[in-house]
Structure 1
Amino acid sequence: MHIIVLENEVSSLRGGQELSLFDVCLGLYKRGHTITLVYITEGDLLKQYRVFCTEIVKVNGFRIERKKIIDSLQNFFIDTRKIKTTKDSIVYSNQYHNSFFAYTLAVSKNIPFVCHLRLPPPQIKKLGFQWGIGMYGAKRLIAVSSETKIDWIKQGFKEDKIEVVYNGINTDKFKPSAHVSIIKNEWGISDDVEIISYIGRLDKEKGLETLIRGFCLFLKTHKSAKLLIAGKPLCQTEEYKKSLEHLTSELGIANSVKFLSHLTNPIPLYQISDVTVLTSLHSEPFGRAIIESMACGTPVVASRTGGIPEILTGEFQNMLCEPGNIQDLANTLNFALRWKNLDPQLSAKCREHILRSFNVDKMVDGIETIIETEFRSQESEFRINSVRLADSAALASPRTLIGKQATRSVS
């Protein structure tokens, strides 16, 4: 099949959804599918996409902007005409923001369109004209968790239109290290220091104030622990990061907290951490950092919100804490470290959980099945309509009409 992939920015610096899309595209390519990448903004992943994409198309945008409506309309339709299709093409959008362009392209080329739901719906009563047309025009929606599916059903979408496919990662890449002491030494950290880490966006919805305050309580019983925060603001500005640094000073724990900025390769930090933390306050759709950490053998303490409880299942439910609850976070961190010290198999259990349920092949299986099913469905619909048109044409032909008239005359 020929899969036309829509992505805003081909960058690993933004978050998990861009990384997950790259894994999906690479996996589909390895299974024999042809990939065309359509993007707006260049990023560090573009070079890697060029290795396997048949075609890469840069466009001006995926929306018609009201403030520049004439230029925007002109660019919009020029961009849709740039994209070549074949008889086995399908449009696959990585987020709902791109849905209007995806639907317009699909209709103009008479091909199906599927959209990935990697984010909760926007906090508005209606999606708006463009997003509404695009999202309701999608043949199938793919949610990254059951909770995300529920969030979109509440927005008015039909349950049977949304399939759930959990994110997966390359477990050959994310794996434990046998040289933790060496890596710690390279980072200037002694073996007896307990490492709590956060890896992700520095945005308010991630509950970083809760993390810092909860860690402050945790330090009362773990004097030598360090909190390492890796990431940069995406929705907020650098001022927000400065406010977090100021909070550590106010609490008197600045020497125990270190801000590392964005890490191009977070794997060593996962490997040296005793526990990683995701203290989201919003309905977190999935939480890719959780499965990355656990694949590296490091347990995760995370908020009981959104799709997170669908990852931390079974005995790992004990690692869930209430969103925004500082004391509960401190207690759960204490529990996680006790468990790790008492159970030498915990690291192996974490990794096995990801190998079984959240590997990249399982994710690609799910998306490939949906894409192929929707393409076959469109093909079948096209054949049925073609037969109906042929029958209508035959009934309306002069020969048929003469035959009918002759039959009436004889009778």
Structure 2
Amino acid sequence: MMSNERVLFVDHTGQIGGAELILLDVVTSRQNASAFLFETGPLSAALAARGLKLIISQHGSGLSRFRRDSSVLSALPLAGRLAAIVVEIARAAWEHDFVYANSQKAFVLAALANVLVRRPLIWHLHDIISSAHFGAAQRRMQVLLANMCAMRVIVPSEAAAAAFVDAGGRRGLVEVVPNGIDLKSERTLRSELRQRFGLPAGPLVGVFSRLAPWKGQHVLLEALARLPDVGCIIVGDALFGEQDYAARLRTMTAELGLVDRVHFLGHRNDVPSLMQAVDVMVHPSIDPEPFGRTLVEAMLSGVPVIATDAGAAPDILERGRAGTLIPSGDPRALAAAIASVLTTPEQVATQIDYAAQRARAEYSLGRMLDTIGAVITKVRLGAVA
């Protein structure tokens, strides 16, 4: 996706979550690109390492803690700071050909800046716009601004596209671009990885995502209470004001008598290796996910997958052919699925092979970058016309 267009990438956080991992892939081959961030952090360092010019807001520190399901009224005390950020984005956009907003907060403020400085605006929407994640006023504002200001809205799945349209978004704006994953994968014996990471030798499941109520780690804990011989690693940490939930998970672990079997590993940079160390990867979200990066990573790592039958997971797992689908928020069904996967290795082996083939064919990094590059070219030609 090499190009000379001057693109201003905008993100609201300095942390690295799933959306930011995609952003880091998107910017890698961009020339003459800049990144406008509300605050510094690991993301700013990673973007600088990729050669981008960094522009850090003087007014955005701490705004990432403003939850996306908060009411619009709760933002009123921040109106002055938000207006100042709009002006900062407009000034930065003046020196660029495109603005590429990588989050909901970034898009809203970039769209307002678009009123001051007209530049083609692309919104990479990594969320499902629904009442589970956003208040009614926020949904109306997002969709109104998208319909008025965005030239394209990139979404990672048909589930995310349908939610955007159901909320009132124009279908003609939407480009479905599945997230791409680097396909390089070195296989290591599970026993060697267990020894390297100090993990137990018995049956082991893993969940890999940030700690948040809608991610459903508590459902997995309740399922484990029904599986006395199964251990678990929980990889990820609270990022956006969700520390109370992280504390709740630890309390639940003690109350359910799981302290000896559940291992909280926090944020890790060696997730692919940790995935290969487990017998099953669980994706227990209780609300529909717009994508499921860890699903694809597990498929590429040769690990059987169990996921909630909602959002993008059914598409990624091809309605159960490439993994096991279970009802949302059902610890009994999750426990049964884990037990089934652990006790049917021959059936699971066939599923694993198919899942790896599907992941390589449908969710490669090169395919994602080529498609996004084509979207940017389409926007450029439309802007010129």
Pairing 1:337-348 to 2, within 5 Å after superposition: 337-342=342-347, 344-348=349-353
**What is the rounded CA distance, in whole Å, between the counterparts of 2:81 and 2:240 in structure 1?**
28
- Code of the residue aligned with 1:125 in structure 2: it is A
C-alpha contact (below 8 Å) 1:202/1:236 kept by paired residues: no
**Which residue in the other structure is 1:392 paired with?**
none
**Which residue in the other structure is 1:333 paired with?**
338
2:194 is aligned, of 165, 173, 184, to 184
Note the C-alpha offset of 1:83: 4.3
Matched, 1:324 2:338: no
Note the C-alpha offset of 1:38: 1.0
**What is the rounded CA distance, in whole Å, between the counterparts of 1:207 and 1:366 in structure 2?**
32
C-alpha contact (below 8 Å) 1:297/1:351 kept by paired residues: yes
Change (3 A) 1:343 1:123: closer
CA offsets, 1:326-367, max 9 Å, x none? 221112112222343455455443322211111111111221
Change (3 A) 1:316 1:61: farther
List runs of 5+ in structure 2 lacking aligned partners. Answer: 64-71
- Code of the residue aligned with 2:227 in structure 1: it is F
List runs of 5+ in structure 1 lacking aligned partners. Answer: 381-411
Matched, 1:215 2:210: no
Secondary structure of the 1:126 match is helix
CA offsets, 1:19-49, max 9 Å, x none? 11111111x42xxx43211111112232332
C-alpha contact (below 8 Å) 2:323/2:355 kept by paired residues: no
Pairing 1:348-387 to 2, within 5 Å after superposition: 348-380=353-385
C-alpha contact (below 8 Å) 1:93/1:99 kept by paired residues: yes
Change (3 A) 1:61 1:364: farther
**Which residue in the other structure is 2:20 paired with?**
18
Matched, 1:151 2:163: yes
**What is the rounded CA distance, in whole Å, between the counterparts of 2:45 and 2:323 in structure 1?**
41
Note the C-alpha offset of 1:322: 0.3
1:73 is aligned, of 83, 89, 102, to 83
**What is the rounded CA distance, in whole Å, between the counterparts of 2:338 and 2:35 in structure 1?**
42
1:127 is aligned, of 118, 138, 161, to 138
Secondary structure of the 2:138 match is coil
Larger Rg: 1
2:267 is aligned, of 229, 246, 262, to 262
**What is the rounded CA distance, in whole Å, between the counterparts of 1:54 and 1:246 in structure 2?**
42
**What is the rounded CA distance, in whole Å, between the counterparts of 2:336 and 2:140 in structure 1?**
47
2:307 is aligned, of 302, 311, 321, to 302
**What is the rounded CA distance, in whole Å, between the counterparts of 1:9 and 1:116 in structure 2?**
15
C-alpha contact (below 8 Å) 1:284/1:305 kept by paired residues: yes
C-alpha contact (below 8 Å) 1:197/1:277 kept by paired residues: yes
Task: Please tell me the root mean square deviation across aligned C-alpha atoms, in Å.
Answer: 2.6
**What is the rounded CA distance, in whole Å, between the counterparts of 1:154 and 1:61 in structure 2?**
34
Note the C-alpha offset of 1:73: 3.5
Matched, 1:204 2:232: no
Sequence identity, in percent?
A: 22
TM-score, reference length from structure 2: 0.86
Matched, 1:6 2:10: yes
Note the C-alpha offset of 1:138: 0.6
- Code of the residue aligned with 2:138 in structure 1: it is L
TM-score, reference length from structure 1: 0.81
Change (3 A) 1:344 1:128: closer
**What is the rounded CA distance, in whole Å, between the counterparts of 1:114 and 1:101 in structure 2?**
13
- Code of the residue aligned with 1:124 in structure 2: it is G
C-alpha contact (below 8 Å) 1:10/1:42 kept by paired residues: yes
Note the C-alpha offset of 1:300: 1.2
Secondary structure of the 2:86 match is helix
C-alpha contact (below 8 Å) 2:9/2:101 kept by paired residues: yes
